[in-house]
Amino acid sequence: MAQRKRYLFVCVNRRPDGTPKGSCAARGSVELHARLKELVKARGLAGTAVRACTSSCLDTCWAGPTIAVEPDGYFYGRVKEADLDEILDAFATDRRVERLVLSPEDFILPKELAEK
């Protein structure tokens, strides 16, 4: 194998039920990563173009499930399984799925979700 063109880090952090900001795992990221890995393999991208990894907390819990797209340096958020094909299609032409890209505001914990 060689270094892949892209590494996708899917946050699979799980917080206790009831935590106001929630967590990526509670929003389905474990299953999302498994499906992503299947799709990457099925498209023949696994050894060269894309490696689908899991990661610990990326600190955007409220906007999860979050995927860090590296080395491009942007984050996808609120990703659903139905978005994964579009995400992989976009890589082929080095485009991003803009509606899923987290904005600078998305990195800030909403006040109403702060722990008391």
Q: Please report, as ranges, the residues that interact with a second copy according to CB under 8 A.
A: 1-3, 7, 9, 51, 53-59, 68, 70-73, 75, 102, 104, 107-109
Tell me how far apart the alpha carbons of residues 43 and 54 are, in angstroms, rounded to a whole number: 19
Compute the least distance from the CB of residue 54 to a second copy, in Å.
4
Compute the least distance from the CB of residue 85 to a second copy, in Å.
22
Q: Which helix or strand (DSSP H or E) is residue 68 part of?
A: strand 67-70
Compute the least distance from the CB of residue 47 to a second copy, in Å.
9
Tell me how far apart the alpha carbons of residues 78 and 50 are, in angstroms, rounded to a whole number: 20
Q: Select 46 or 90, whichever has its Cβ closest to a second copy.
A: 46
Are 104 and 10 within 8 A, CB to CB? no
